[in-house]
Structure 1
Amino acid sequence: MSTDTTETTATPPASASVATTDAAPKRRSYWSLWAKVPREFAFLILTMPIAITGLVVLATTFFTGLGLIALVFGVFIVVASLFIARGFGTLELVRLRWAGRTEITRPVWDRDNREQGFWRTIFAPFVDGHYWLYMLHGMVINPVISIVSWSITIAWTSVALGGTTGWIWQRYIPDGRGDQDFWLYDVVVDWMFPGNTWQIDPVVGETVFEFILGLIFLATLPFVFRGLTLLHDVIARGVLGSWRSEALEREVAQLAASRGAAVQAEDASLRRLERDIHDGPQQRLVRLQMDLAAIERKLERDPESARELLVEAREQARETLDELRALSRGFAPPILQDRGLAVALQSVAARSPIPVTVEIDLPTDATLPASIERNAYFIAAELLTNAVKHAEASGIRLTVSTRDTGATGHWLDLWVTDNGRGGASPTAGHGLAGLDERVQGLRGVLVVDSPVGGPTTIGAHIPFAPLAAAETALQA
């Protein structure tokens, strides 16, 4: 990484920065399993009561509505049972998250446009497969699995606690076994050491055997609880979680929206460029043409007047050229293509009539795609122009950097901060609204923090795929 700095360096204010944390994976130890035992035990011990309650409520409402389906209100009872099943399924997801399991992506219940009338909204569960899966989970799957997991939890906990503490309290409980010949420890010892002639006191032998058995169950308790909780988690992910097709559908919708926003932003930019050319250079060129015609008429009969008009025409041509250069900044300038984003942004900052502090921290190996560099240049140029025109500021700061968040990929962060009067907002039809559309077209986020009185901080966060990663993917 290289840092190119002009004037003084600074970092974006904490209030406007996007916090990112890269959590390093932690190694799981045996003792770390014990940390979640209380929550997993609470989850497992409450599973069967909740599952049986759900079974009773769902079976009662669903079959009652089904029996009255011939009548009109029976349909409403069935619909109510589907919503109740959704409630019990959501409760299961919340309980699993509380028990320490990873968040399960829930179905998008309102993915369709529900502004279609009362009846369509009421009967939507009939055509939504998630409601029926939640009903299946609440009436069949969860009751069966919960009985098994609850029974194992009770049995394992009882043996672990009873075996390790029995030597304390068993002496105070009447035995009632008398002179019986059957002792469990005796059976195990004879099985492990056949033909032995050991003489062991039955009470001592049974107590020691129960204590050892209790230690084994207690030592394996975290693994059993984790396995049973994981069983419920796997079932919930398969039955209660969202479908992969829904995620792909949302991704396609987001891409379509992003593409539409990008097209609209490009169209707005072209219309603005057309208007600027019509109102500026085109009018100057018309005047220059008229001046040249006047010079041609006066060249022979009034050379002095023609010389004055030539001076004016030359000045007019220079101003036209300057204005065309200013307008051409809306396209990718040669300096951006030849020397990269860092140098191009420094060039933009140097042309500003207000002093600009620049801090650029970009990779030296040019891993930014050309489209990202071009859009970042346009965004920075327009933000600086807006600050000069509207902020009434005495100083501006431009900060550009990249970051790798791991889970969400690589991001380019561009911040422009001024000490002006504030009050900026992305109002429709204004410059910031167009910038917001451009950033959304890149699947990024535009952050505006501009209280009245200032300062104003505007950040554009744009995701990108490094060129090195893209080339590796193409080679693969």
Structure 2
Amino acid sequence: MATDYGHGGYGPGRGRDGHGQGYDDWDSDWPTGSPESGRRHRLPAALRAPIEARTWRELGYVLLSLPVSVVLFTWTVTMVSLGAGLLVTFLGVPVLAAALAGCRAFGALERARARALLDVDVRGPEPLRVHKPGALAWMGAVLKSGASWRNLLYTLVQFPWALFSFIVTATLYPLGWSLLTYPLWFWVFPMYAGQAGLQLYGDEHHQIYLDNPFEITVTTLVGLVFTLATPWLVRALTTVDGLLVRGLLGPSLLSERVVELESDRGVVVDTAAADLRRIERDLHDGAQARLVGLAMDLGLAKEKLREDPQAAARMVEEAHGEVKTALQELRDLARGIHPAVLTDRGLDAALSSVASRCTVPVRVEVDLPSRPAPAIEGIAYFTVCELLQNVSKHSRARSASVDVWRSENRLMLQVSDDGVGGADASAGSGLAGLRGRLDAVDGVLLVDSPAGGPTRVIAELPWRG
């Protein structure tokens, strides 16, 4: 159902197809990447890879990985074997705890090395939960921590991989550069080795040397291929290293989810407290103050009723107007808590009512097969209310549009306007608070508002119908 409030045209397209299945027509315009991502290089990536700083950092990472992995592997195998052998006595437990604690320390070192050389920024795992003071409680926390055992697994898995990566890198890099620079040093063979050039093949009857211009040129080209290809191969090897660091040395998915839920719970509590304070303030400064004044006016009118009936009638008439104003304020306050039209008739009617009060013409289209969960419906309503308030106050738009649809298990909202743009959810504005509220229910807020407009704000909410 589409409804126009006002007249004239409306804002940019909804950013979805007729069936509400995604963002295909606006995704290409979405701002992505950092400013550096758009920087142009004079050389293509394939040619500049051998001399890039990133390549040398990755090379350094691979070359360091072997000695580091030898230390880690030796520590783990030695300590775990010793601890397992001593488990028949009590001494095995502290040895195993020391082994795991050492693996956690090595994990911190590896995260720092990956951050410095591979630009792989991985947060540390969840801290140990030591519920009581003492060595026994600490050892129990270390042994029960899943992060400790993942760190131990990393020291075992990383050693063979580091050995393989070292062999491949230490072979291909010197081979590529030596063949590429062969024209510069092939003269060493006839002058000091007594042979025509680098020997490609030789037996009792035949010897093949790379000594004529054609063979030297082909050797150089082969070296160029190796030199250009090796950085990409090393990059692929270090990608696996990054996956190992992320998967085994970072926080587990469960712990990340727990942290996220704890943060979202805090947001929900703070939001609820702020809403209660706002309601109390509105009641105290609005309807309550007006009703107190009304009671005083009615008391004065009662006293004047016998002495000056006409003055009393005027005061009663004024009080009647105050009653109407107080009732309107109470209705507005109730609408701010949860509008009755939303409960009775759903998002279509509720958003149409909001759009009719907006200062610019708003087109509303709601395409929902059914109603989502009441809590999600309420969040969607107040999200659109806040976005339309921003349109009225800041956008200087001529028209706006609100689109609501369902895409699989998500409730999608889009509010667009043809105003001046420049909205930024990261600048501590009301959009930032709105994004926090949506995050608390696993929602997403995306803002596309270039300077000069138009502005498109997309909100995703779980359906939970």
- For the pair 1:80 / 2:98, whether they are aligned, the reply is yes
Quick one: distance in 2 between partners of 1:289 and 1:109? Answer: 65
Distance 1:224 1:147, change over 3 A: same
Selected match of 2:184 from 154, 168, 182 = 168
Quick one: distance in 1 between partners of 2:312 and 2:158? Answer: 93
- For the pair 1:307 / 2:310, whether they are aligned, the reply is yes
**Any conservation in 2 of the 1:262–1:438 contact (CA below 8 Å)?**
no
Q: Could you say which residue in structure 2 is the equivalent of 1:280?
A: 289
- For the pair 1:22 / 2:32, whether they are aligned, the reply is yes
User: What's the secondary structure of 2:107's corresponding residue?
Assistant: helix
Deviation at 1:171, TM superposition (A): 3.6
Quick one: distance in 2 between partners of 1:414 and 1:44? Answer: 40
Specify the code of the residue in structure 1 equivalent to 2:111: L
User: What's the secondary structure of 1:184's corresponding residue?
Assistant: strand
- For the pair 1:41 / 2:59, whether they are aligned, the reply is yes
Q: Please tell me the root mean square deviation across aligned C-alpha atoms, in Å.
A: 5.3
Specify the code of the residue in structure 2 equivalent to 1:227: A
- For the pair 1:229 / 2:221, whether they are aligned, the reply is no
Q: Could you say which residue in structure 2 is the equivalent of 1:214?
A: 223
- For the pair 1:372 / 2:387, whether they are aligned, the reply is no
- For the pair 1:253 / 2:262, whether they are aligned, the reply is yes
- For the pair 1:134 / 2:143, whether they are aligned, the reply is no
Distance 1:21 1:118, change over 3 A: farther
Quick one: distance in 2 between partners of 1:414 and 1:206? Answer: 62
Distance 1:468 1:96, change over 3 A: closer
Deviation at 1:237, TM superposition (A): 3.3
Distance 1:317 1:135, change over 3 A: same
Quick one: distance in 1 between partners of 2:267 and 2:75? Answer: 45
Q: Could you say which residue in structure 1 is the equivalent of 2:19?
A: none
Deviation at 1:313, TM superposition (A): 2.9
Deviation at 1:115, TM superposition (A): 5.9
Instruction: Give the total of aligned pairs.
Output: 365
Selected match of 1:94 from 103, 106, 112 = 112
Structure 2, unpaired ranges of 5+: 1-9, 13-29, 340-349, 367-378, 398-412, 416-422, 448-455
Name which one, 1 or 2, has greater alpha-carbon Rg.
1
Quick one: distance in 2 between partners of 1:295 and 1:328? Answer: 32
Quick one: distance in 2 between partners of 1:232 and 1:416? Answer: 36
Deviation at 1:165, TM superposition (A): 2.8
- Aligned sequence identity (%): 16
> How does the TM-score come out when normalised to structure 1?
0.58
User: What's the secondary structure of 1:330's corresponding residue?
Assistant: helix
1:32-431 alignment, distance < 5 Å:
33-34=49-50, 35=52, 36-68=54-86, 75-100=93-118, 102-104=120-122, 106=123, 108-110=125-127, 116-118=132-134, 120-138=137-155, 140-172=156-188, 184-185=200-201, 203-204=211-212, 210-272=219-281, 275=284, 279-287=288-296, 289-291=298-300, 293-294=302-303, 298=306, 302=307, 305-323=308-326, 325-326=328-329, 329-332=332-335, 340=354, 344=358, 369-375=380-386, 399=394
Q: Could you say which residue in structure 2 is the equivalent of 1:9?
A: none
Quick one: distance in 2 between partners of 1:342 and 1:31? Answer: 60
Distance 1:241 1:259, change over 3 A: same
Deviation at 1:208, TM superposition (A): 6.1
Quick one: distance in 2 between partners of 1:100 and 1:129? Answer: 25
Distance 1:372 1:218, change over 3 A: same
> How does the TM-score come out when normalised to structure 2?
0.59
Distance 1:281 1:291, change over 3 A: same
User: What's the secondary structure of 1:22's corresponding residue?
Assistant: coil
Specify the code of the residue in structure 1 equivalent to 2:33: A
Distance 1:286 1:469, change over 3 A: closer
Deviation at 1:149, TM superposition (A): 0.6
Distance 1:253 1:32, change over 3 A: farther
Distance 1:342 1:127, change over 3 A: farther
Distance 1:307 1:82, change over 3 A: same
Specify the code of the residue in structure 1 equivalent to 2:99: S
Structure 1, unpaired ranges of 5+: 4-19, 188-197, 347-359, 381-396, 403-408, 418-434, 446-461
Q: Could you say which residue in structure 1 is the equivalent of 2:23?
A: none
Deviation at 1:144, TM superposition (A): 0.8
Deviation at 1:23, TM superposition (A): 1.8
Distance 1:237 1:319, change over 3 A: same
Bigger CA drift: 262-271 or 462-471? 462-471
Distance 1:163 1:468, change over 3 A: closer
**Any conservation in 2 of the 1:51–1:146 contact (CA below 8 Å)?**
yes
Q: Could you say which residue in structure 1 is the equivalent of 2:437?
A: 442
**Any conservation in 2 of the 1:258–1:440 contact (CA below 8 Å)?**
no
Distance 1:71 1:175, change over 3 A: farther
**Any conservation in 2 of the 1:261–1:437 contact (CA below 8 Å)?**
no
